Structure formats: structure tokens, C-alpha cells
Amino acid sequence: MNGTNEVSIGVLLGWVLLALVGAGVAVAQFRALKREPALRRERLAPWRASAAQFCAFAGVAVFCLLAVGLICSATARAFFPDLLSSERGILYLIPVMQTFSLAVLLLAVKIFPEAFPKNFDADSAELREPARVWLAPNNRFGVPAMFAMGFCATLVLMLLTQLLIPFLPENFQDDQMLVTALRQADNPLLIAVCVPAIAILTPIIEEIIFRAGLYRFLKSKMRAVPAALLSSVIFALMHDAPASHLPLVVLGCVFCWSYEKTGRLAAPICVHALFNANTLLGVAAS
């Protein structure tokens, strides 16, 4: 018990330190934007898709995000009826679902390239720095800085949400189903198998769909800020815990910003992966 308490206190102190670092990074980045107008330039070209192209993209996205889960659940109920008898049963499906979803998504990109942006990254002319720079801590818009800033913002919003929860309907107070299942799990091997699916596969799938596809399409219809906000709202609504929707909207905007400032899809994927890994760490500590 004492060991568990020490881990929880250590994680809490780590979060406080990360929040303070994130606040400092946020101040530095906003001051840099104010001081250097050139940094405000957008790197990503909008995806000017036709109605048919966007419908094809939306069809692939809906299949990967929703239909795959329904297919896997139906198959599990048919052949393994006891598997989904508890909330922990979803942990058996997560690795299969995310692997299947990513395979379908990458196959669709290969077979139907017209249903996606031609390039997920910005044009080479916009990428003046080497690929490794967006990972470097001394890059003001690098992945570590984006993660720290986003963590600070979402932590503040999560605390505010917790204060509002007593005034919300009861069904708004639940955690995400996956988080609940992880907290109830008593099989370390099962949790370990889920970690790559949650921390690696999920960010790749969601960033291709919500940032490379949806955000850049919306940029062709409106300015970057409302496009980031609208795509982030849709991203948040795809999650099943209403209490986390506001922090997820802010998180989605951070992903859009990291994508815009680096010009590389790998940047929001890395930031997203760090946030998911941090969630897993929080679940483990609790």
C-alpha cells in the first residue's frame, strides 16, 4: 500500500512540475509569436477536396472509427460470448480493433489516394529545417514544448471540469469506458498488450483522420483557427465521456497547432502519443 501511495505522489508531483513547465513554455511561445510575425505564417495548404472526395474520406473515417468496433464486438459476442460480460472485456478487443483500423486506413490511402490529401506533410519548400528539429527541445514549436503547453492547458480545464461535475447530470460524470476498464483490469499482461494500441496505433489513426484529413479540408472552407476549433469539437465528441469533452477540444487545438507550426503530421502524432501514454501512467498510479 505504501509503495502505491509513493507512486501516486510521485506521479502527482511530476504532473505539477510538468504543468509549471507547460505554463512557462506557453508564455514563451506566445511572446515569440507577438515578437516575430513571420512565425504566424501557416505552413499547411488546405485540402481542396471535391464533394465526392470528401464523402469517400468520411466513409473511410466512419468505418475505421465506428464500424470496425461494431464488427469486432459482434464477432466476439458470436464466438466468445463471455468475453464482453464485463467492462474489462474491451481490453481484449482494443489491440485487434486498432490494428484492423490502421490496416484499413493505410490500405485506403494506398488504393484510394484521391480520398485523402496528396501529402500529409507540408510542401518541401515550407520545410526548411531538418526533420529532427521538430523533436529538439530548443525548437520553440517542437514536440516537447507542444506537449508541455498542452498538458498545462488540459490540466487546468480538467480541474475546472471536476469542479463542475457535481452540477452535471449523472451520465456526464462517467470516465471513458476504456479508462474504467483499465482501472478494473487485474491482468498485467493484458494491460501491456493494450499499451502499444493506445499509445501508438490510436494517435496515428486519429491524426490521419482528424488533422491530415478533416482539419485541412475545413481550412479550405474557413480560416485556420475556426477550422482547428471545429475539427477539435468533432474529435472530442467521438469520445464517450462528456466530462472530458472540453479538455479534449483544447487538446485537439494543440494537435492542430503542432501540425501547422511544424508542417509534419509526425509532430501531432508524437504529442498525441505522449498524452495517451500520460493517461496510461495516471491510470496505473490510481
pLDDT on residue 47: 92
Asked whether residue 41 is domain-assigned, the answer is no
DSSP 123: P
Percent of the chain with pLDDT over 90: 27
pLDDT level of residue 87 (50, 70, 90 thresholds): low
Cα 115 from Cα 107, distance rounded (Å): 12
Q: Is the pLDDT of residue 12 over 70?
A: no
> What angle (nearest 5°) sits at the alpha carbon of residue 70, between those of residues 192 and 78?
85
Q: Three-state SS string across 11-36, please?
A: HHHHHHHHHHHHHHHHHHHHHHHHHC
Q: Is the pLDDT of residue 173 over 60?
A: no
Asked whether residue 45 is domain-assigned, the answer is no
Average pLDDT, the chain: 77
Asked whether residue 71 is domain-assigned, the answer is no
Asked whether residue 168 is domain-assigned, the answer is yes
Q: Which domain holds residue 172?
A: 2-32+126-285
Q: Is the pLDDT of residue 98 over 50?
A: yes
Q: Tell me the helices (H) and strands (E) count for the chain, helix number first.
A: 12, 0
Asked whether residue 69 is domain-assigned, the answer is no
pLDDT level of residue 9 (50, 70, 90 thresholds): low
What mean pLDDT comes out for the span 220-231? 94
What mean pLDDT comes out for the span 63-71? 91
Asked whether residue 74 is domain-assigned, the answer is no
Dump pLDDT digits (tens) for 21-52: 656 655 665 565 555 555 555 678 899 999 99
Asked whether residue 62 is domain-assigned, the answer is no
> What angle (nearest 5°) sits at the alpha carbon of residue 151, between those of residues 197 and 194?
15
Dump pLDDT digits (tens) for 179-192: 677 777 777 777 78
pLDDT on residue 246: 82
pLDDT on residue 136: 47
Q: Is the pLDDT of residue 239 over 80?
A: yes
Residue 219 near residue 47 (C-beta atoms within 8 A): yes
pLDDT on residue 133: 46
Cell of 217: 479540408
pLDDT on residue 13: 66
pLDDT on residue 55: 94
Q: Domain count of the chain?
A: 1
pLDDT on residue 162: 67
Asked whether residue 215 is domain-assigned, the answer is yes
Cell of 180: 474504467
Cα 191 from Cα 183, distance rounded (Å): 10
